[in-house]
Amino acid sequence: MKALAIDSAVSGITVAAVNDEKKASLFLDIGMKQSEKLLPAVQYVMEQVQLQPGELEFTVLDKGPGSFTGLRLGFAALKALELAFTCPVYGVTTLDAYAYPYKAWPGSVLAVIDAKKDRLYAALYRNGTQTHAPADAEPEKIRSWLDGEQPVLLVGADAAFAYRTLTEGYESELDLRYFGNIQASASDALFAIADGMRQNGEAPLAPYEGPLYLRKSEAEESVGKPR
């Protein structure tokens, strides 16, 4: 496999490259400077595995939900590579990527991202199958998904935050587990899922396809509001 992945759905961005048995990854969590450093990071990881852009079989990113800015950065970088080198870009739902490594968990898996505004982006899975589609939801709504679901494993970069949010006042009613932020980077899952899509003949992202947003941006929400 010769591929490049960008995981940019949350504040920290991971860039990873794989060239058969060689793999390199770089994690960035440096605020506003990430937009300047993303392309140098791509170049760096590809150099580490001795991979040229023209050799890429595919690239992959988490297409959302997540940070509006982060998702746009990932799309811009990989779409540019697609245009320059005719390299297909595969998009994977962020929450699917977070849940993917835990298909064998003996219960449900709840993949989460802090959506701000006292809400979570979340999706629920059992045995690798999605049982609740990705949603932008209040904690109470997500707790209603978990009625009778025992035990539930929380995964994702914001698992610790979600654990506190969901269990506050409900400690005796929910059997939630998490082991630190066990899925801080989804790059390995992105590679595996995209390679499976490619092998199964699933189409990469079309040129017009962009990020998956579950809510409007603050700029869009402000349109039409009185000043």
pLDDT in tens, 97-119: 999 999 999 999 999 999 999 99
Return the pLDDT at 8. 93
Secondary structure (3-state) at 84:
helix
Kindly state whether residue 224 falls inside one of the protein's structural domains: no
Q: Average pLDDT, whole number, for the chain?
A: 91
Percentage above 90 pLDDT, the chain:
77
Whether residue 43 is predicted with pLDDT greater than 70 in this model: the reply is yes
Mean pLDDT in residue range 177-181 = 74
Mean pLDDT in residue range 127-142 = 95
Return the pLDDT at 172. 77
Q: pTM of the predicted model, to two decimals? A: 0.91
Number of domains in the chain: 2
In whole angstroms, give the CA distance from residue 85 to residue 45. Answer: 18
Kindly state whether residue 226 falls inside one of the protein's structural domains: no
Whether residue 221 is predicted with pLDDT greater than 60 in this model: the reply is no
The pair of three-digit structure tokens given for residue 182, joined into one six-digit string: 């066990």
Do 110 and 52 have their domain in common? Answer: no
Whether residue 33 is predicted with pLDDT greater than 90 in this model: the reply is no
Per-residue pLDDT band for 223 (boundaries 50, 70, 90) equals very low
Kindly state whether residue 62 falls inside one of the protein's structural domains: yes
CATH, residue 166: 3.30.420.40
Residues whose CB is less than 8 angstroms from the CB of residue 170 and which lie 6 or more positions away in sequence, other chains included? 143
The answer to whether the bond into 134 is cis (omega within 30° of 0) is no
Q: Report how far apart, in Å, the C-alpha atoms of 74 and of each of 14, 62, 96, 226 are.
A: 10, 8, 17, 33
Per-residue pLDDT band for 174 (boundaries 50, 70, 90) equals confident
Kindly state whether residue 105 falls inside one of the protein's structural domains: yes
